[in-house]
Structure 1
């Protein structure tokens, strides 16, 4: 008889659950939560309620598990906060990373499904749009906070919203500006809420190339959170260093600002999270940081920032552009900080799928929150034990 293969993540999950599920008042709820996490870890491929229940007891367990996720009243926020606290005690936090998660779905029976534009992918899709806040340390990346962007949030209020009694709007009509503003607000608030609850105000890494750069940066400034954000090459900026080209010349595209100082670049070494290599791939690219401001009608909001540019090929324009209010950090640490977003993107696409982050199929928003919270616990168990599987999605 072949020996039973040991799974370190499943062993670690029991200890993790004993800590992070302690906010559940009843013992049977804590046990159900533990079983759900274990089911997520044990079940290969796409996760379903039937498949998860099959790992712990079959048909009778399926109905009970469904009620625990979609019909119960337990609060997921204390579990997320406890998970973040557990991780901070285990491994020092480097940065928080905001990671959008588009979930294509064809039907109409799942919560939050709509035909919508995904700014990060630059294309239309039908499905759900969620935002995850990921904990990134030297040794692991794993999600600890979530928000789903609901279709009705694309309108500023119920009045005039298609489908609302008393509205005169045509079915399917929407204001693109309102939709983008709502998307920006959801994306920023998702990470701001998580970081505030954690009490750890480490830098936030996020991509705002296709959403409102100035408004999003202002949201984080008002929240008192340091941020480093990837921006579009066309982002208008004011050069504030009198020794550099473009000072006093008004707003210029970020790409042009960087091209004018390309001669000041220095090589920066960093680690590329290549799934094929356990330790990643060591790389070196050219980078420079320039003191800038964002033009803003309100002088009170004009803050000193750094524009960071990275070149993978010095004969071409910069490959990535970032703005940050971490103005005292040298360009090397800043560029390496941006790579936390790259690590999370790889994990979200591979180990995130393995943990079932995208696999909730119910109609209730609380059910989605409970599922994605316990899937985050399962993901953390894999990340803590280094047993993530980076197979092709």
Structure 2
């Protein structure tokens, strides 16, 4: 028996003006046509989204798979303009609450796909062979819409010319730590939005040290809500290391509790946030440590640092739930929208596939939502 969920996935969805916006910058009509076919294939093909199956569903001919494969892997088109249009299209649909950063771990076989490496995942306690993508999602309340991606590249893909050529990594691509990739996504989104920003929300504590990201967001004037490890030491360089307190200890000893609705409590502590401006100068600004209070353990839960001080901690903790929604979106994209089904190994191919998967997910998710 076909479930309602399956029926929704295989139904032909009205794409409206989205294909024109995404592919309007392409000069060749065949590129525009195959972009539309790939997008429809991701939306209408049930199960694994191979190019052969998508071609058969949308065009009625498996032979069209060659053209689909070439469109993603070999046809020379830039994904940046398409992502910018996708971001603006999504932002027009519903008010954006935050720009949420979240990772996508994509298991892979072999060692030649761009960015593939061995990575230990603390959540599952195991090591996997994978690609690691960093995505920026627009949190519109009832949905998290992916609009931009970075692919983490281990050193061998940037320093080994043979690996670099095999993966078709552009010569301009430089090594970037994960926090810097996250910052690049924020900068790109800022340029697409014409300077209209939203709070940056992320929990990247299992992936990297987020201190450099915090400093640069503060220094560039971005508001943020970022998870920090409980053992994070507070206090500037003028405070001896032995006298610095951890974030968790500060909340336990000096935090103030606030009602957070439904019998819950938040706990917060006013602090300062250190920033690093684009000109290299350092500054200090008001900030806040906060967490949801766990009445069972008598301890704060996940700890967040924010430079937003004019909103109630309970409201900010609600915003801090956004990374969970983005992770759910990644899981849904993998199960139903072909996130894990890319048939290729190249850096450009990965980015084009992620762009199209994001567009398909955005279309299916935002369809029917009232502005």
So what's the TM-score if we normalise by structure 2? 0.82
Question: Is 1:233 equivalent to 2:230 in the alignment?
Answer: yes
Q: Does 1:338 align with 2:320?
A: yes
Assess, with a 3 A threshold, how the Cα gap between structure 1 residues 140 and 20 changes in structure 2: closer, same or farther: same
Asked whether 1:256 is paired with 2:249, we answer: yes
Question: Any conservation in 2 of the 1:36–1:52 contact (CA below 8 Å)?
Answer: yes
Q: Which residue of 2 aligns with 1:140?
A: 143
Q: 1:148 to 1:133 in 2, by over 3 A?
A: same
Aligned-partner SS, 2:343: coil
Q: 1:294-344 CA distances to partner (integer Å, 9 max, x unpaired)?
A: 579999344321101112335332111000111222212211111112211
Alpha-carbon offset, residue 30 of structure 1:
1.7
Tell me the SS of whatever aligns to 1:303. strand
Match of 2:218 among 221, 243, 246: 221
Q: Indicate the residue corresponding to 1:357 in structure 2.
A: 339
Distance 1:6 1:250, change over 3 A: closer
Contact 1:111 1:362 in 2 (8 A): no
Q: Which residue of 1 aligns with 2:190?
A: 195
Instruction: Return the alpha-carbon distance in structure 1 between the equivalents of residues 281 and 189 of structure 2.
Output: 30
Residue of structure 1 in register with 2:133 after alignment = 130
Question: Can you give the 5+ residue segments of structure 2 that lack an aligned partner in the other structure?
Answer: 1-6, 163-174, 237-241
The alpha-carbon distance between structure 1 residues 119 and 72, as it changes in their structure 2 partners (threshold 3 A), is: farther
Please report how far the alpha carbon of residue 8 of structure 1 lies from its aligned counterpart in structure 2 after TM superposition. Answer: 9.7
Structure-2 residue corresponding to 1:287: 266
- In structure 2, what is the Cα distance between the partners aligned to 1:329 and 1:151? 40
- RMSD of equivalent CA atoms: 3.1
Contact 1:251 1:295 in 2 (8 A): no
- Correspondence for 1:311: 293
Runs of 4+ in 1 over 6 A off after TM superposition: 5-9, 119-122, 295-299
Summarize deviations over 1:138-170 as a string: whole Å, max 9, x none: 23211000010112279xx84xxxx579xxxxx
**Equivalent residue for 1:183, pick from 178, 185, 188:** 178
Equivalent position to 2:82, from 59, 70, 79 = 79
Residue number in structure 2 paired with 1:95 = 98
The alpha-carbon deviation at position 7 of structure 1 amounts to: 6.7
- Indicate which of 233, 244, 266 corresponds to 2:258: 266
Separation of aligned partners in 1, 2:49 and 2:318: 34
Report the Cα distance in structure 1 between the residues aligned to 2:368 and 2:154, rounded to whole angstroms: 37
CA distance in 2, matches of 1:130, 1:321: 24
**Taking structure 1 as reference, are residues 284 and 111 closer, same or farther at Cα in structure 2, changes over 3 Å only?**
farther
How big is the shift at 1:261?
A: 3.7
Instruction: Tell me which of 44, 47, 60 is aligned to 1:45.
Output: 47
Classify the secondary structure of the residue corresponding to 1:202: coil
Preserved CA contact (<8 Å) 2:289 2:304: yes
Cα pair distance change 1:380/1:10, threshold 3 Å: farther
- The 1:45–1:311 alpha-carbon spacing in structure 2 relative to 1, beyond 3 Å, is farther
How big is each residue's C-alpha offset from its partner over 1:239-292, in whole Å with a ceiling of 9 and x where there is no partner? Answer: 9xxxxxxxxx95211111111245x312214xxxxxxxxxxxxx6531022111
Contact 2:9–2:44 (Cα < 8 Å) also in 1: no
Provide the secondary structure at the position in 1 that maps to 2:17. Answer: helix
Separation in 2 of the partners of 1:229 and 1:357? 26
- For the structure 1 residues 191 and 287, does the alpha-carbon distance in structure 2 shift closer, same or farther, using more than 3 Å as the test? same
* 1:151 is the counterpart of 2:154: yes
TM, length-normalised to structure 1: 0.78
C-alpha distance in 1, partners of 2:335/2:180? 26
Paired residue total: 342
Q: Is the 8 A contact 1:192 1:220 kept in 2?
A: no
